[in-house]
Structure 1
Protein backbone atom coordinates (compact mmCIF):
# COMPACT_ATOMS: atom_id res chain seq x y z
CA UNK A 1 0.00 0.00 0.00
CA UNK A 2 1.21 3.47 -0.75
CA UNK A 3 1.30 4.50 2.87
CA UNK A 4 4.02 6.27 4.82
CA UNK A 5 6.37 4.14 6.86
CA UNK A 6 6.89 4.50 10.57
CA UNK A 7 10.45 5.65 11.17
CA UNK A 8 12.79 2.84 10.20
CA UNK A 9 16.33 2.38 11.46
CA UNK A 10 19.17 3.19 9.12
CA UNK A 11 19.84 -0.50 8.67
CA UNK A 12 16.37 -1.09 7.30
CA UNK A 13 14.89 0.19 4.06
CA UNK A 14 11.77 2.34 4.37
CA UNK A 15 9.38 2.41 1.43
CA UNK A 16 6.19 4.43 1.14
CA UNK A 17 4.90 1.77 -1.21
CA UNK A 18 4.74 -0.89 1.48
CA UNK A 19 1.49 -1.93 3.08
CA UNK A 20 1.81 -1.50 6.83
CA UNK A 21 5.53 -0.87 7.30
CA UNK A 22 6.04 0.07 10.89
CA UNK A 23 8.38 1.99 13.00
CA UNK A 24 12.01 1.54 13.52
CA UNK A 25 14.41 3.13 15.71
CA UNK A 26 14.33 3.80 19.14
CA UNK A 27 15.83 1.36 21.28
CA UNK A 28 19.17 2.39 22.46
CA UNK A 29 21.66 -0.36 23.09
CA UNK A 30 19.03 -2.90 24.08
CA UNK A 31 17.18 -3.00 20.78
CA UNK A 32 20.27 -3.20 18.63
CA UNK A 33 21.88 -6.04 20.55
CA UNK A 34 18.89 -8.24 21.37
CA UNK A 35 18.58 -11.14 18.96
CA UNK A 36 16.27 -14.11 18.87
CA UNK A 37 17.36 -16.90 16.58
CA UNK A 38 15.14 -17.49 13.56
CA UNK A 39 14.11 -14.59 13.99
CA UNK A 40 -17.16 -1.10 3.39
CA UNK A 41 -15.25 1.79 4.28
CA UNK A 42 -12.45 0.42 6.02
CA UNK A 43 -13.73 3.34 7.57
CA UNK A 44 -15.60 1.36 10.04
CA UNK A 45 -14.82 2.60 13.48
CA UNK A 46 -12.64 0.65 15.83
CA UNK A 47 -13.96 0.77 19.33
CA UNK A 48 -11.67 1.48 22.26
CA UNK A 49 -13.75 1.85 25.36
CA UNK A 50 -12.98 4.82 27.56
CA UNK A 51 -13.77 2.60 30.51
CA UNK A 52 -11.04 0.13 31.35
CA UNK A 53 -11.49 -3.42 32.51
CA UNK A 54 -9.42 -5.15 35.16
CA UNK A 55 -7.36 -8.09 33.93
CA UNK A 56 -6.22 -11.14 35.88
CA UNK A 57 -3.20 -9.23 37.20
CA UNK A 58 -5.41 -6.46 38.56
CA UNK A 59 -4.26 -3.85 36.02
CA UNK A 60 -7.04 -1.84 34.37
CA UNK A 61 -6.48 -1.95 30.62
CA UNK A 62 -8.46 -0.18 27.89
CA UNK A 63 -10.80 -2.39 25.92
CA UNK A 64 -9.87 -2.33 22.24
CA UNK A 65 -12.06 -3.83 19.54
CA UNK A 66 -11.61 -3.72 15.79
CA UNK A 67 -14.45 -3.45 13.24
CA UNK A 68 -15.59 -6.47 11.24
CA UNK A 69 -13.92 -4.96 8.17
CA UNK A 70 -10.45 -5.45 9.65
CA UNK A 71 -9.26 -8.58 11.45
CA UNK A 72 -6.02 -9.44 13.22
CA UNK A 73 -5.41 -13.15 13.76
CA UNK A 74 -2.76 -14.00 16.36
CA UNK A 75 -1.53 -17.56 15.90
CA UNK A 76 0.29 -19.47 18.63
CA UNK A 77 0.42 -16.43 20.86
CA UNK A 78 0.98 -18.42 24.06
CA UNK A 79 3.82 -19.31 26.40
CA UNK A 80 3.89 -21.62 29.43
CA UNK A 81 5.87 -19.06 31.43
CA UNK A 82 3.47 -16.54 33.00
CA UNK A 83 5.99 -13.67 32.81
CA UNK A 84 6.59 -14.27 29.13
CA UNK A 85 2.87 -14.62 28.53
CA UNK A 86 2.33 -11.21 30.09
CA UNK A 87 4.81 -9.72 27.61
CA UNK A 88 3.02 -11.45 24.75
CA UNK A 89 -0.36 -10.17 25.94
CA UNK A 90 0.70 -6.53 26.20
CA UNK A 91 2.73 -6.74 22.98
CA UNK A 92 -0.38 -8.00 21.21
CA UNK A 93 -2.51 -5.16 22.56
CA UNK A 94 0.10 -2.60 21.51
CA UNK A 95 -0.15 -3.80 17.92
CA UNK A 96 -3.95 -3.84 18.06
CA UNK A 97 -4.01 -0.37 19.63
CA UNK A 98 -1.92 1.17 16.86
CA UNK A 99 -4.09 -0.34 14.13
CA UNK A 100 -7.29 0.67 15.94
CA UNK A 101 -5.98 4.25 16.11
CA UNK A 102 -5.51 4.28 12.32
CA UNK A 103 -9.09 3.15 11.83
CA UNK A 104 -10.27 5.71 14.38
CA UNK A 105 -8.03 8.37 12.77
CA UNK A 106 -6.80 9.30 16.24
CA UNK A 107 -3.03 9.37 16.76
CA UNK A 108 -3.54 10.67 20.30
CA UNK A 109 -5.81 7.85 21.43
CA UNK A 110 -5.36 6.99 25.09
CA UNK A 111 -4.84 3.31 24.32
CA UNK A 112 -1.83 4.12 22.10
CA UNK A 113 -0.25 5.95 25.04
CA UNK A 114 -1.16 3.12 27.37
CA UNK A 115 0.86 0.52 25.45
CA UNK A 116 3.74 2.65 24.13
CA UNK A 117 6.39 4.81 25.74
CA UNK A 118 9.27 7.05 24.70
CA UNK A 119 10.48 6.73 21.14
CA UNK A 120 8.00 3.94 20.39
CA UNK A 121 5.15 6.29 21.30
CA UNK A 122 6.53 9.10 19.15
CA UNK A 123 6.99 6.86 16.11
CA UNK A 124 3.62 5.18 16.58
CA UNK A 125 1.91 8.55 16.54
CA UNK A 126 3.85 9.64 13.48
CA UNK A 127 2.90 6.41 11.68
CA UNK A 128 -0.78 6.82 12.54
CA UNK A 129 -0.79 10.49 11.51
CA UNK A 130 0.45 9.46 8.06
CA UNK A 131 -2.80 7.56 7.52
CA UNK A 132 -4.87 10.36 9.02
CA UNK A 133 -3.28 12.88 6.69
CA UNK A 134 -4.15 10.86 3.58
CA UNK A 135 -7.58 9.92 4.97
CA UNK A 136 -6.92 6.19 4.73
CA UNK A 137 -8.24 3.38 6.88
CA UNK A 138 -7.48 -0.36 6.97
CA UNK A 139 -9.48 -3.31 5.70
CA UNK A 140 -8.92 -7.02 5.31
CA UNK A 141 -7.00 -9.45 7.49
CA UNK A 142 -3.49 -9.61 8.88
CA UNK A 143 -1.97 -12.76 10.36
CA UNK A 144 0.43 -12.39 13.29
CA UNK A 145 2.55 -15.47 13.93
CA UNK A 146 5.90 -16.99 14.95
CA UNK A 147 6.17 -15.08 18.23
CA UNK A 148 9.49 -15.39 20.07
CA UNK A 149 9.80 -13.85 23.51
CA UNK A 150 12.33 -13.67 26.33
CA UNK A 151 13.62 -11.48 29.14
CA UNK A 152 17.09 -10.03 28.62
CA UNK A 153 19.79 -9.49 31.22
CA UNK A 154 18.50 -6.01 32.09
CA UNK A 155 14.93 -7.17 32.66
CA UNK A 156 13.53 -5.87 29.39
CA UNK A 157 11.14 -8.00 27.42
CA UNK A 158 12.32 -8.89 23.91
CA UNK A 159 9.55 -9.84 21.51
CA UNK A 160 9.92 -10.79 17.85
CA UNK A 161 7.00 -11.76 15.63
CA UNK A 162 5.91 -11.90 12.01
CA UNK A 163 3.00 -10.18 10.29
CA UNK A 164 1.49 -11.36 7.00
CA UNK A 165 -0.13 -8.38 5.28
CA UNK A 166 -1.02 -10.19 2.07
CA UNK A 167 -4.77 -10.03 2.68
CA UNK A 168 -4.91 -6.48 4.05
CA UNK A 169 -5.26 -3.15 2.26
CA UNK A 170 -5.71 0.53 2.87
CA UNK A 171 -9.02 2.07 1.84
CA UNK A 172 -9.42 5.77 1.26
CA UNK A 173 -12.38 7.13 3.19
CA UNK A 174 -13.37 9.62 0.48
CA UNK A 175 -12.65 7.80 -2.78
CA UNK A 176 -13.03 4.21 -1.66
CA UNK A 177 -9.79 3.33 -3.45
CA UNK A 178 -8.10 0.22 -2.07
CA UNK A 179 -4.38 -0.52 -2.20
CA UNK A 180 -2.64 -3.71 -1.13
CA UNK A 181 0.97 -4.84 -1.07
CA UNK A 182 2.53 -4.07 -4.49
CA UNK A 183 3.42 -6.95 -6.80
CA UNK A 184 6.93 -8.15 -6.24
CA UNK A 185 6.95 -6.98 -2.62
CA UNK A 186 6.99 -9.48 0.22
CA UNK A 187 3.81 -9.31 2.33
CA UNK A 188 5.77 -10.58 5.34
CA UNK A 189 7.15 -8.21 7.94
CA UNK A 190 9.17 -9.08 11.03
CA UNK A 191 8.74 -6.91 14.12
CA UNK A 192 11.57 -6.73 16.68
CA UNK A 193 10.44 -5.01 19.85
CA UNK A 194 11.58 -4.34 23.38
CA UNK A 195 9.17 -3.79 26.25
CA UNK A 196 9.61 -2.42 29.76
CA UNK A 197 7.32 -3.08 32.68
CA UNK A 198 5.82 0.15 33.97
CA UNK A 199 5.19 1.04 37.61
CA UNK A 200 1.56 0.08 37.14
CA UNK A 201 2.47 -3.36 35.81
CA UNK A 202 2.02 -2.88 32.05
CA UNK A 203 4.63 -4.10 29.57
CA UNK A 204 4.94 -0.99 27.42
CA UNK A 205 6.67 -1.12 24.05
CA UNK A 206 9.69 1.17 24.10
CA UNK A 207 11.35 0.33 20.78
CA UNK A 208 10.35 -1.29 17.49
CA UNK A 209 12.30 -2.27 14.42
CA UNK A 210 10.87 -3.94 11.33
CA UNK A 211 12.26 -5.78 8.37
CA UNK A 212 10.20 -6.70 5.33
CA UNK A 213 10.82 -10.14 3.89
CA UNK A 214 12.50 -11.43 7.05
CA UNK A 215 9.71 -13.92 7.72
CA UNK A 216 8.52 -16.89 5.73
CA UNK A 217 5.07 -18.39 5.57
Structure 2
Protein backbone atom coordinates (compact mmCIF):
# COMPACT_ATOMS: atom_id res chain seq x y z
CA UNK A 1 0.00 0.00 0.00
CA UNK A 2 1.13 3.55 -0.66
CA UNK A 3 1.76 5.48 2.52
CA UNK A 4 0.52 8.80 1.28
CA UNK A 5 -3.08 9.90 1.71
CA UNK A 6 -4.90 6.98 3.25
CA UNK A 7 -8.32 7.73 1.85
CA UNK A 8 -7.29 7.84 -1.78
CA UNK A 9 -5.65 5.67 -4.39
CA UNK A 10 -3.40 7.74 -6.63
CA UNK A 11 -3.61 10.58 -4.18
CA UNK A 12 -6.78 12.08 -5.58
CA UNK A 13 -9.19 13.37 -2.93
CA UNK A 14 -10.97 15.97 -4.97
CA UNK A 15 -13.57 18.32 -3.57
CA UNK A 16 -17.00 17.32 -4.78
CA UNK A 17 -17.96 20.84 -5.72
CA UNK A 18 -19.42 19.87 -9.07
CA UNK A 19 -21.60 16.97 -7.96
CA UNK A 20 -24.74 18.94 -8.69
CA UNK A 21 -23.87 18.84 -12.38
CA UNK A 22 -24.91 15.19 -12.40
CA UNK A 23 -27.95 15.38 -10.14
CA UNK A 24 -31.00 14.26 -12.06
CA UNK A 25 -29.07 13.74 -15.28
CA UNK A 26 -29.84 10.17 -16.19
CA UNK A 27 -28.59 9.15 -19.61
CA UNK A 28 -30.34 7.77 -22.59
CA UNK A 29 -27.77 4.97 -22.31
CA UNK A 30 -27.91 4.39 -18.54
CA UNK A 31 -30.01 5.31 -15.56
CA UNK A 32 -27.68 6.43 -12.76
CA UNK A 33 -28.55 8.13 -9.51
CA UNK A 34 -26.54 11.18 -10.56
CA UNK A 35 -24.92 11.44 -7.12
CA UNK A 36 -21.23 11.37 -6.32
CA UNK A 37 -20.92 8.68 -3.67
CA UNK A 38 -17.90 6.56 -2.75
CA UNK A 39 -18.00 3.52 -0.49
CA UNK A 40 -16.14 0.50 0.54
CA UNK A 41 -14.53 -2.44 2.21
CA UNK A 42 -11.58 -4.37 0.82
CA UNK A 43 -9.75 -7.68 0.79
CA UNK A 44 -6.36 -9.01 1.83
CA UNK A 45 -5.84 -10.87 -1.46
CA UNK A 46 -5.71 -9.36 -4.97
CA UNK A 47 -9.22 -8.48 -6.03
CA UNK A 48 -10.67 -10.33 -9.02
CA UNK A 49 -11.99 -8.31 -11.90
CA UNK A 50 -15.70 -8.65 -12.56
CA UNK A 51 -15.39 -6.70 -15.78
CA UNK A 52 -17.50 -7.38 -18.84
CA UNK A 53 -14.31 -7.06 -20.86
CA UNK A 54 -11.08 -8.27 -19.21
CA UNK A 55 -8.75 -6.82 -21.83
CA UNK A 56 -6.34 -4.12 -20.77
CA UNK A 57 -6.35 -0.55 -22.03
CA UNK A 58 -3.17 0.55 -23.76
CA UNK A 59 -1.04 2.81 -21.57
CA UNK A 60 1.16 3.98 -24.41
CA UNK A 61 1.78 7.69 -24.76
CA UNK A 62 2.21 8.43 -21.04
CA UNK A 63 5.54 9.17 -19.41
CA UNK A 64 5.80 6.91 -16.36
CA UNK A 65 8.90 5.65 -14.52
CA UNK A 66 10.12 2.21 -15.54
CA UNK A 67 9.33 0.84 -12.08
CA UNK A 68 5.65 1.87 -12.27
CA UNK A 69 3.18 -0.41 -14.04
CA UNK A 70 -0.46 0.44 -14.70
CA UNK A 71 -3.12 -2.12 -15.59
CA UNK A 72 -6.48 -0.66 -16.61
CA UNK A 73 -9.23 -3.14 -17.46
CA UNK A 74 -11.07 -2.18 -20.65
CA UNK A 75 -14.49 -2.93 -19.14
CA UNK A 76 -16.17 -2.15 -22.45
CA UNK A 77 -19.95 -2.47 -22.67
CA UNK A 78 -20.69 -2.38 -26.39
CA UNK A 79 -22.55 0.91 -25.92
CA UNK A 80 -20.81 3.67 -27.87
CA UNK A 81 -21.41 6.51 -25.41
CA UNK A 82 -20.32 4.53 -22.37
CA UNK A 83 -17.26 3.05 -24.05
CA UNK A 84 -16.13 6.53 -25.12
CA UNK A 85 -16.35 7.66 -21.50
CA UNK A 86 -14.39 4.62 -20.29
CA UNK A 87 -11.67 5.29 -22.85
CA UNK A 88 -11.40 8.88 -21.71
CA UNK A 89 -11.51 7.88 -18.05
CA UNK A 90 -8.57 5.51 -18.52
CA UNK A 91 -6.54 8.44 -19.79
CA UNK A 92 -7.39 10.49 -16.69
CA UNK A 93 -6.01 7.66 -14.54
CA UNK A 94 -2.80 7.58 -16.55
CA UNK A 95 -2.54 11.37 -16.61
CA UNK A 96 -2.84 11.66 -12.85
CA UNK A 97 -0.18 9.01 -12.28
CA UNK A 98 2.11 10.71 -14.79
CA UNK A 99 1.74 13.95 -12.86
CA UNK A 100 2.28 12.38 -9.43
CA UNK A 101 5.29 10.33 -10.47
CA UNK A 102 6.84 13.13 -12.52
CA UNK A 103 6.31 15.71 -9.78
CA UNK A 104 6.21 18.48 -12.36
CA UNK A 105 3.86 21.35 -11.40
CA UNK A 106 3.69 22.35 -15.07
CA UNK A 107 2.88 18.86 -16.31
CA UNK A 108 0.59 18.94 -19.36
CA UNK A 109 -1.12 15.82 -17.99
CA UNK A 110 -2.75 17.65 -15.09
CA UNK A 111 -3.94 20.44 -17.39
CA UNK A 112 -5.45 18.02 -19.86
CA UNK A 113 -7.09 15.52 -17.53
CA UNK A 114 -7.97 17.37 -14.31
CA UNK A 115 -10.30 20.37 -14.13
CA UNK A 116 -9.10 23.52 -12.34
CA UNK A 117 -11.65 23.07 -9.56
CA UNK A 118 -10.41 19.56 -8.83
CA UNK A 119 -6.70 20.28 -9.09
CA UNK A 120 -5.63 21.75 -5.70
CA UNK A 121 -5.82 18.50 -3.68
CA UNK A 122 -3.82 16.67 -6.35
CA UNK A 123 -1.14 19.37 -6.29
CA UNK A 124 -1.13 19.22 -2.49
CA UNK A 125 -0.62 15.46 -2.68
CA UNK A 126 2.42 15.89 -4.91
CA UNK A 127 3.84 18.58 -2.62
CA UNK A 128 3.47 16.33 0.42
CA UNK A 129 5.34 13.57 -1.39
CA UNK A 130 8.06 16.05 -2.34
CA UNK A 131 8.40 17.13 1.29
CA UNK A 132 9.06 13.51 2.26
CA UNK A 133 11.25 13.02 -0.82
CA UNK A 134 9.01 10.13 -1.85
CA UNK A 135 7.46 8.80 -5.02
CA UNK A 136 5.68 5.55 -5.89
CA UNK A 137 6.75 2.24 -7.35
CA UNK A 138 5.04 -1.01 -8.27
CA UNK A 139 1.74 -1.86 -9.94
CA UNK A 140 -1.58 -0.02 -9.93
CA UNK A 141 -4.60 -1.96 -11.16
CA UNK A 142 -7.96 -0.41 -12.08
CA UNK A 143 -11.00 -2.59 -12.67
CA UNK A 144 -14.81 -2.81 -12.46
CA UNK A 145 -15.09 0.52 -14.23
CA UNK A 146 -18.74 1.36 -14.83
CA UNK A 147 -20.42 4.39 -16.35
CA UNK A 148 -23.42 5.03 -14.12
CA UNK A 149 -24.58 8.20 -15.86
CA UNK A 150 -23.75 9.94 -19.14
CA UNK A 151 -25.39 12.80 -20.96
CA UNK A 152 -23.56 14.65 -23.71
CA UNK A 153 -20.37 15.99 -22.12
CA UNK A 154 -21.05 15.04 -18.48
CA UNK A 155 -20.57 11.55 -17.04
CA UNK A 156 -20.20 9.67 -13.79
CA UNK A 157 -17.92 6.64 -13.38
CA UNK A 158 -17.35 4.18 -10.54
CA UNK A 159 -14.30 1.92 -10.35
CA UNK A 160 -11.93 0.00 -8.10
CA UNK A 161 -8.19 0.32 -7.54
CA UNK A 162 -5.81 -2.38 -6.29
CA UNK A 163 -2.72 -1.00 -4.52
CA UNK A 164 -1.56 -4.30 -3.03
CA UNK A 165 1.53 -4.22 -5.25
CA UNK A 166 2.16 -0.46 -5.13
CA UNK A 167 4.47 1.11 -2.56
CA UNK A 168 6.18 4.35 -1.55
CA UNK A 169 9.81 4.76 -2.54
CA UNK A 170 12.41 7.21 -1.21
CA UNK A 171 13.75 9.22 -4.14
CA UNK A 172 17.20 9.68 -2.62
CA UNK A 173 17.94 6.23 -1.24
CA UNK A 174 15.69 4.18 -3.49
CA UNK A 175 14.40 2.32 -0.43
CA UNK A 176 10.90 0.91 -0.92
CA UNK A 177 8.41 0.85 1.97
CA UNK A 178 7.01 -2.63 1.53
CA UNK A 179 3.76 -3.40 3.32
CA UNK A 180 1.74 -6.56 3.83
CA UNK A 181 -1.42 -6.88 1.69
CA UNK A 182 -4.51 -5.77 3.57
CA UNK A 183 -8.08 -4.61 3.07
CA UNK A 184 -6.78 -1.05 2.88
CA UNK A 185 -5.13 -1.80 -0.46
CA UNK A 186 -8.50 -1.76 -2.23
CA UNK A 187 -10.35 1.47 -2.96
CA UNK A 188 -13.65 2.24 -4.63
CA UNK A 189 -14.15 5.56 -6.40
CA UNK A 190 -16.98 7.57 -7.85
CA UNK A 191 -15.98 10.39 -10.18
CA UNK A 192 -17.65 13.11 -12.20
CA UNK A 193 -16.12 13.78 -15.62
CA UNK A 194 -16.65 16.43 -18.26
CA UNK A 195 -15.50 16.39 -21.86
CA UNK A 196 -13.58 19.57 -22.65
CA UNK A 197 -11.48 20.24 -25.73
CA UNK A 198 -11.73 16.64 -26.87
CA UNK A 199 -10.59 15.11 -23.56
CA UNK A 200 -12.53 13.83 -20.57
CA UNK A 201 -11.44 15.63 -17.40
CA UNK A 202 -12.01 14.90 -13.73
CA UNK A 203 -14.42 17.37 -12.15
CA UNK A 204 -14.82 15.67 -8.78
CA UNK A 205 -13.84 12.42 -7.10
CA UNK A 206 -14.87 10.66 -3.92
CA UNK A 207 -13.15 7.56 -2.57
CA UNK A 208 -13.06 5.25 0.38
CA UNK A 209 -10.71 2.41 1.15
CA UNK A 210 -12.04 -1.12 1.36
CA UNK A 211 -15.16 -1.82 -0.69
CA UNK A 212 -16.92 -5.15 -0.67
CA UNK A 213 -17.66 -4.60 -4.37
CA UNK A 214 -13.90 -4.47 -5.05
CA UNK A 215 -13.15 -7.87 -3.52
Aligned to 2:155: 157
Give the whole-Å Cα distance in 1 for the aligned partners of 2:16 and 2:36. Answer: 16
Equivalent residues in 2 for 1:1-217, closer than 5 Å:
3-5=3-5, 20-30=10-20, 34=35, 63-152=61-150, 156-181=154-179, 184-198=182-196, 200-214=197-211, 215-217=213-215
CA RMSD of aligned residues (A): 3.0
Q: What is the CA deviation profile of residues 55-108 of structure 1, one whole-angstrom value per residue up to 9, with x for unaligned ones?
A: xxxxxxx93132331111112432312222221122111111111122212133
The 3 A distance-change label for structure 1 pair 203 and 169 is: same
Q: Which moved more, 1:161-170 or 1:67-76?
A: 67-76
Calculate the TM-score normalised by the size of structure 1: 0.72
Q: Which moved more, 1:111-120 or 1:30-39?
A: 30-39
Structure of higher RCO (CA pairs closer than 8 Å, 6+ residues apart) = 2
The 3 A distance-change label for structure 1 pair 171 and 79 is: same
Unpaired segments of 5 or more residues in structure 1?
6-13, 40-61
Matched residue count = 184
Calculate the TM-score normalised by the size of structure 2: 0.72
Unpaired segments of 5 or more residues in structure 2?
24-33, 41-59
Q: Which moved more, 1:114-123 or 1:148-157?
A: 148-157
